[in-house]
Amino acid sequence: MTGHPDIQVDSVRSRGELREFIRFPWEVYVRDPAWIPPLIREQKKVLDPSRHPFHAHAEVEYFLARRSGRVVGRIAAILNHRHNEFHQEKTGFFGFFEAMNDPSAATALLSEAEDWLAGRGMDSVVGPMNFSTNDESHSPGILLDGFDSAPFVLMAHGRPYYPDLMEGAGFNKAKDLLAYWISSNEPPERLVRAVERIEAGIDGLEIREVDLKKLPEEVELVQSIYNSAWERNWGFVPLTEAEIDHLAAELKPILEPKYVLLASVHGEPVGFALTLPDFNQPLRGANGRLFPLGLLKLLWHSRRIDRGRVFALGLKPGFRGKGIDAVFYLKTFQAGRELGHTTGECSWILEDNWKMRRALEKAGAKVYKTYRVYRKDL
């Protein structure tokens, strides 16, 4: 609880308060045509410690800020024990941040999360994370630009005043995350020529589509690649078996096999690429609910999806710099064309991941959105 004369920040304790926490974004984005309402039932699942595997190795506290009784902000304070054990840090996180353009209330809300984390021995706070780089209810960071275009599936949106709220509360940049725009489903000719040379030059290279009928076995392969390929990435924490099983179950209904590619060399799994059809397009009309008519609308409008998001692409150490990523990009272009997708997004990419950035730019992609993750010492 914090004490500005008109501002009250309290932990979420009741089902009614949790409902307010989940529904608050509808207040923030009421006049924003680019915002895509999340599915309420999915939000409930993510925030429920008994239903989401992240909570098995973390502590989370949800807060609501009220001014004169009206909700004006929300936040989650997150203590990710697995992150701190892996990185040997005492870093806390905040996530699920939404607020009205009310600097005093936002600062009070962030301060409450900081105090909660400091009371548990943390010496810094980073965010927003929702909950981590592995568990995307929506992507990390505060949107800095590109407010006029709708976010792709599982990507965050934001209000233009959010960066000012962060800086006004004493937060500074930790890392920028980039979203690349692909304006055509026609691959550049130089990419096509390069892939011809790469495929001829790598003995034993095989790229295949995922077999959804053998999803448990395929997921096991992906987990081994992911935990090796991303190990040195900023913010990385190895996925647990429960987490990757949960992620696979959540994504399975929207997976398109042509968009899920596995690479092997002489039978050894060495990389994967995952692109998601942009189900945010049909979700726009559901307004957070699938019933009674939302599911029918979703199924109807899903036929009109015309873009995809490159969600993940990684290679094990020892197999990078050989051009396998370029093969993934070309085959993703070709899959998109077969599916009738005319544009796409590659996101999110670390600002200092120059190898991937150069590869994307050679494939014709351009940065069009930036998300900033903030940090503050406690």
Same domain, 256 and 354: yes
Task: Reply yes or no on whether the pLDDT at 58 is more than 90.
Answer: yes
Convert the pLDDT of each residue in 246-287 to its tens digit: 888 888 888 899 999 999 999 999 999 999 999 898 888 778
Domain encompassing residue 335: 182-377
pLDDT for 4 beyond 70: no
Of 133, 158, 175, the position where a domain reaches its end is 175
| 102 and 194 both lie in a single domain | no
Please tell me the total count of domains within the chain: 2
Query: Does 44 share its domain with 153?
Result: yes
Domain end call among 141, 159, 175: 175
pLDDT at 205: 95
Tens digits of residue pLDDT in 286-341: 788 776 545 555 555 567 899 999 999 999 999 988 999 999 999 999 999 999 99
223/160 same-domain check: no
Q: Do 152 and 257 reside in the same domain of the chain?
A: no
Quick check: 174 and 46 in contact, CB under 8 A? no
Instruction: State the chain's mean pLDDT as an integer.
Output: 91
Per cent of the chain over pLDDT 70 is 96
Shared-domain flag, residues 70 and 116 = yes
**233 vs 13, which has greater pLDDT?**
13
CA distances from 34 to 115, 151, 155, 159, 216 (A): 34, 7, 12, 10, 36
pTM metric for this prediction: 0.94
Q: Are residues 228 and 351 in the same domain?
A: yes
Q: Can you list the positions of beta strands (E) in 183-221?
A: 205-209
Q: Map residue 200 onto helix, strand or coil.
A: helix
Give me 319's structure tokens: 């197999």
Length of the chain: 378
Same domain? For 81 and 133 the reply is yes
Last residue of a domain, one of 125, 158, 175: 175
Tokens of 221: 């392969």
